Structure 1
Amino acid sequence: MSQVNQSSISPINFPKPQLIPINGIELEVFEAGTENAGNPIVLCHGFPEHAYSWRFQIPALVNAGFHVIVPNQRGYGNSSRPENVEAYDIIKLCEDMVSLLDYFQYDNAVFMGHDWGANVVWNLALLHPKRVSKVINLALPYQERGRKPWLEMMEEFFGEDFYFVHFNRKPGVADAILEANTAQFISNLFRKNLPPAPPAPGMLMIQLAEAEMAAGDPILNEEELEVFVSAFQKSGFSGAINWYRNLDRNWHLMADVEARIEHPTLMVYGDRDIIPKSESLPNFAPNLEVLSLDCGHWIPQEKPEELNEALIKWLAKS
């Protein structure tokens, strides 16, 4: 089994960032394995995460011969945080990744995404198929575009307190509460071994921010937690939440794009994740392999060794 190099995952030994001007903004980018130039893989984090979420995968991928490029995407870390909500639509998020490839002078790369980062990678493969060589996505399968805009559909099924809906219908409310309780929110969110329970009434993210006790076991040790907390204490959460505030805009922007991904694709689920597995995914990604791990939502951090072994095996054969 691929072993995690513990000395490479502490904040002290994490790659040093560079601020790269691309696509009219700056991205904070962490880079490792420059000796493997010519074999790039780009890792795209989710919400509310950070490039540091990939700390376990970076050394394993470098050892497997990859030039690993890990951006803090717009709205996160020290990357630019435009004030205009529309600056976070899916077109611009994908253009950021294309511009990142241009900066490093790569025609294409393997792209791996988790959570919201997976949504970026799915759409990047649709919008800029020649810039993607292989697709690896974790937790979030391709979301089929329905007949109704996303928020209308979600509000109808899940109600006005569903956090996707709340972020849009009550702008600024959640942002302020998360920012007032950053350490508690991050600590309560990054948990594993959660006991099965029906969702409590109210807005999930606000509940996590205000709860003095959380279920499950912590994923982050104190040193790791501080990386996330210090990043969000500096950046706030509005940039990250603005990704959600473009859901309906994205629904319209992607209306005429054919939903078919021909690239070799690996989809990794956590069996305990609340995000459901997709039965229809093979219809959209015919060159698909599916892997399920015994964990929750935070797959790269919950099951790093198992994930690394599977990634390297799949990349080698695909």
Structure 2
Amino acid sequence: MIEMPPLQFAETNGIRMGYYEAGPKTDTPPVILCHGWPEIAFSWRHQIKALSEAGVRVIAPDQRGYGATDRPEPVEDYDIEHLTGDLVGLLDHLKIDKAIFVGHDWGGFVVWQMPLRHIDRVAGVVGINTPHTNRAWADPIELLRKRFGEHMYIVQFQDPAHSVDKIFNGRVEQTFDAFMRKPVPQAESTPAEEPVAGVGASPRLNLAFPQMIANYDARHDPRTPILSPEEKKIFVDTFTKSGFTGGINWYRNMSRNWRRAEGLDHTVRVPSLMIMAENDRVLPPSAADGMEKLIPDLEKYLVRNSGHWTQQEKPDEVSGKLIEWRRKRFG
């Protein structure tokens, strides 16, 4: 049985945002859970249950472009200023002064930006798989293009014709069948490849995700699914309705975000936790090397035998670590 609290709505930053809330309203600071791509607040179902049962107030929004939340048309409406501004507006709506922001995948990029832009609203930050890095020395899309070529999915996502969106929109079930699986265990003898600094992923990884989805057949996939059929149906139904463009628009702002971050101090001055997943191929633990230079108050934790979808692959371990760290740091 899949449990989620009732869906609620907040008017924030010019959009209507859907969110889920559980746990005692008196608990402070509350925990805001921010999902990645292609996900929704439902990705945090296990943490919502575990944290609220442990007495923690927890809030999980469908972020801009996703699920029950509005999907504005202009691409610029998905830049990092809008995405962090949405979370500030959510705090305002709930009359919350400060929160701990927890983010996975793209949500991780957003939560690491919160203390750089809205320090007075941030009690602490937890990144899951997504490291905090300094501003790249050049436009990140150009760096990705040089390193991985034109077929790298983030480079393909820059196409103004939105041709890749159609691949995902036309194959919603295939997308979740292909993505939401545990990785094949790596052979002991395979040397780990170094990821690209500030970008993640090793150079030999096949990152042509649109083509992978277009040619995917679940019958020939030996990997173990993470989602039950009921859980998969929730993702498939949600994205069938919303499409993928809203989420992909986050990627279409990477160059804009990079340009507009010039001169921004990237030091994170709040208690922080970095949860890494041993077998994440796109955001490997080595991508978090050197974070201590930018985050004076940082704890790191490695989840073994987990791929990219850490909070869904290892829900009890992730929830347990979040509860333990929050108690230790915030009582």
Give the alignment's TM-score, normalised by structure 2.
Answer: 0.89
Deviation at 1:267, TM superposition (A): 0.2
Deviation at 1:193, TM superposition (A): 3.2
- The one-letter amino acid paired with 1:255 is E
Deviation at 1:146, TM superposition (A): 1.8
CA contact (8 A) 1:57 1:308 kept: yes
For structure 2, which runs of at least 5 residues remain unmatched after alignment?
A: 191-203
- Which residue in 1 is equivalent to 2:297? 287
More displaced stretch, 208-217 vs 89-98: 208-217
RMSD: 1.5
Separation (CA, whole Å) in 1 of partners of 2:24 and 2:169: 36
- Which residue in 1 is equivalent to 2:313? 302
Separation (CA, whole Å) in 2 of partners of 1:108 and 1:160: 41
CA contact (8 A) 2:167 2:213 kept: no
Deviation at 1:38, TM superposition (A): 4.0
- Which residue in 2 is equivalent to 1:268? 275
For structure 1, which runs of at least 5 residues remain unmatched after alignment?
A: 1-6
1:19 counterpart SS class: strand
Separation (CA, whole Å) in 1 of partners of 2:95 and 2:75: 30
Separation (CA, whole Å) in 2 of partners of 1:309 and 1:69: 17
* 2:172 pairs with one of 182, 185, 188: 182
Q: How does 1:65-104 map to 2 (within 5 A)?
A: 65-104=55-94
Give the alignment's TM-score, normalised by structure 1.
Answer: 0.93
Q: How does 1:35-54 map to 2 (within 5 A)?
A: 35-54=25-44
More displaced stretch, 70-79 vs 169-178: 169-178
Separation (CA, whole Å) in 2 of partners of 1:36 and 1:161: 49
CA contact (8 A) 1:195 1:215 kept: no
CA contact (8 A) 2:35 2:104 kept: yes
Deviation at 1:170, TM superposition (A): 5.7
- Which residue in 2 is equivalent to 1:112? 102
- Which residue in 1 is equivalent to 2:196? none
Separation (CA, whole Å) in 2 of partners of 1:151 and 1:44: 24
Q: How does 1:203-282 map to 2 (within 5 A)?
A: 203-213=208-218, 214-274=221-281, 275-276=283-284, 277=286, 278-282=288-292
Deviation at 1:37, TM superposition (A): 4.7
Deviation at 1:218, TM superposition (A): 0.3
Deviation at 1:209, TM superposition (A): 4.4
Deviation at 1:159, TM superposition (A): 0.7
Identical pairs, percent:
39
CA contact (8 A) 2:64 2:71 kept: yes
2:173 counterpart SS class: helix
More displaced stretch, 191-200 vs 116-125: 191-200
Q: How does 1:127-146 map to 2 (within 5 A)?
A: 127-146=117-136
1:113 counterpart SS class: strand
